[in-house]
Amino acid sequence: MQNSHEPATAAGLAHVTARLDKACHEAGRAAGSVTLIAVSKTFETDAIRPVLDAGQRVFGENRVQEAQKKWPNLARAYPGTELHLIGPLQSNKTREAVALFDAIHSLDRESLAAELAKEIARAEGSRAAPRLFVQVNTGAEPQKAGVLPEEADAFVEACREKHRLAIEGLMCIPPADENPAPHFALLEKIARRNGLSGLSMGMSGDFETAVQFGATHVRVGSAIFGGRPPITG
Ligand SMILES: *Cc1c(COP(=O)(O)O)cnc(C)c1O
C-alpha cells in the first residue's frame, strides 16, 4: 500500500547522510569522500527496500547466512548494490562469503587469510575478489575479534607476502564504554605506517568523530534503521 509519509528508514538515511556531509565539511574533507555502509543486520527486506529506493547502494551485514537469505534477490533488483561483511567470518563459511560479499571487514587470523586466498583463487574469473580489511582489536578486549595493535604490522605483512592478498585497509570497533577518538587515531596510525588507505571505523554514535580521524568507510545501522532487539545467546 502506498503511504504518503516517507518510510522511517528513508528518513533515517536522509538524516545520517546530512550528518555525514556536515562531518566531512567540518573535517575539511570533500563531501562524498566517506563511504556510508548502511548496516541492515537483523532487518527484513521490507525495511531495507525504502533505503535502496532512496538511492543507498552500500550495505553491511554481520552474518553470512542471514545475508544469503536476504540479499541475492534484492541485489539483483537494485543494480550496483555492494555488500560488506562486517561481522566475524568462520573459516568454513569462506566460500559463501567470497561468493556473496564485495568487501570483508573482519580478516583477523592467518587461518582465515589462507582460506580466503584459496577461495579467491578458486572464484577467479567468475567474480572480483572481495576487498579486504584487517580487523584490529584496538582496545585489546578479550571478548572481541581482531588482531592486537602490536600484532597488526606483522599480520598485514603475512597477508600480503605469504598469502598474496591485497589489503585495502583496517577496521576497528572501539570499546563501548570508552572515548572512541584514541582508538580511531591508533587505527589511522597503524594504517598509515603500513601504506593502507582504507579506514573502516565509526558507527551510529561516533561516526562524526571517525570522519575527523580519517574514516573512509563508516558503518551505520541503528541511526538509519532504528533500534535492534538486544542480542541473545
Ligand atoms: C552492528 C554493527 C555496526 C552498526 O552499529 P550501529 O550502532 O547500529 O550503527 C557497525 N559495525 C559493526 C561491526 C556492527 O556489528
Q: Which DSSP letter does residue 165 get?
A: -
Nearest CA to ligand 1 atom 6: 221
Q: Where are the alpha helices (DSSP H) in 136-230?
A: 152-157, 181-193, 207-212, 222-225
Which pTM was predicted? 0.95
- What pLDDT score does 126 carry? 84
DSSP 176: T
Confidence of residue 153 (pLDDT cuts 50, 70, 90): very high
The residue behind cell 605469504 is 162
Longest dimension (CA), the chain: 56
Q: Check pocket membership of 210 for ligand 1, CB cut-off 6 A.
A: no
Give me the pLDDT at residue 31, please.
86
Helical axes 45-53 vs 64-77, angle rounded to 10°: 40
pLDDT of residue 231: 64
Helix (H) or strand (E) holding 219: strand 217-220
pLDDT digits (tens, 9 = 90+) for 12-36: 999 999 999 999 999 999 988 999 9
Atom of ligand 1 nearest to the CA of 225: 8
The model's pLDDT over 115-130, given as tens digits with 9 standing for 90+, comes to: 999 999 999 888 899 9
CB of residue 112 inside a 6 A radius of ligand 1: no
220 beta partners:
38
Which carries the bigger pLDDT value, residue 47 or residue 230?
47
Inter-residue contact 56 to 50 (CB < 8 Å): no
Instruction: Spell out the SS3 assignment of 130-143.
Output: CEEEEEECCCCCCC
- Helix or strand holding residue 174 (H, E): none
Residue 4 is predicted with a pLDDT of 47
The number of the ligand 1 atom at minimal distance from the alpha carbon of 173 is 13
pLDDT value for 75: 96
